[in-house]
Amino acid sequence: MSLKKLTKELKAKSSREKAEISKRFFKTGKGEYGEGDVFLGLTVPEQRVLAKKYVDLILIDVKELLHSKYHEHRLTGLLILVYKYDKADEKEKERIKDFYLKNKHRSNNWDLIDCIADKILGKHLIDKDKDILYNLAQSENLWDKRIAIISTFEFIKNGKFEDTLKISEIFLKEKHDLIQKAVGWMLREIGNRDMKILEDFLKKYYKKMPRTMLRYAIEKFSEEKRKKYLKGEI
């Protein structure tokens, strides 16, 4: 399987109409977080199929995908990394994790993080030192911050909540809604598994949390309880 064949298949599945929709959905206008991004117009399921087909693509070629101007090239390259990681031995997993971190700046939109970070970085760090996540959380870069919190989803899925809660504390004064939403989402996922832990965290911090973060965290609560949190009556 070659990079040339993959990019040819991606182009063959492109859709101008879908590309226009994606440009609006991923905020590519001037001053928006996805400013200037270019889309071919493929669905994520289509890209997953191709990523699995081309999973044996060498990392040099994956890097070329990640540095492409096309959003779908980058996402397909990242998905290839996920599938490579899943079938790799420990030495290769370490190599893929390092490759991902070295090229993380190419994960420059939220979908390029949400489909990937927990499945590579989260999986790799679940039983290892997690300092890298705290360094990312304190970065000035929007996407580094999102990688930090989304990576903890893998911990949550394995019943480990401590790092998600600690990183959520770091973001209590975060102004960007893409981080507020991501933190709220991860807190909600904790609540799906242990409501007491979520409510203990909320009772301590909900009056300090950005409104968007709180709304996402309490999304599954009853309407009555949501109103109490939003009115500060808990």
133: confidence class by pLDDT, cuts 50, 70, 90: very high
Cβ partners under 8 Å of residue 125, min gap 6: 132, 133, 151
What integer pLDDT is reported at residue 101 of this predicted model? Answer: 98
Query: What percent of the chain shows pLDDT beyond 90?
Result: 98
- The answer to whether 1-107 and 116-234 have equal CATH topology is yes
What integer pLDDT is reported at residue 76 of this predicted model? Answer: 98
Place of tokens 């040339």: 4
Domain boundaries, the chain: 1-107, 116-234
CA dist 63 and 198 (Å) reads: 39
Q: Tell me which architecture the domain covering 1-107 has in CATH.
A: Alpha Horseshoe (1.25)
What does the pLDDT look like over 137-184, one tens digit per residue?
Answer: 999 999 999 999 999 999 999 999 999 999 999 999 999 999 999 999
pTM of the model: 0.95
Place of tokens 């700046």: 105
Q: Which of 207, 209, 141 is nearest to 169 (CA)?
A: 209
233: confidence class by pLDDT, cuts 50, 70, 90: confident
What does the pLDDT look like over 11-42, one tens digit per residue?
Answer: 999 999 999 999 999 999 999 999 999 999 99
**Per-residue pLDDT averaged across 47-68, rounded?**
97
User: In the CATH hierarchy, which top-level class contains the domain 116-234?
Assistant: mainly alpha
What does the pLDDT look like over 85-102, one tens digit per residue?
Answer: 999 999 999 999 999 999
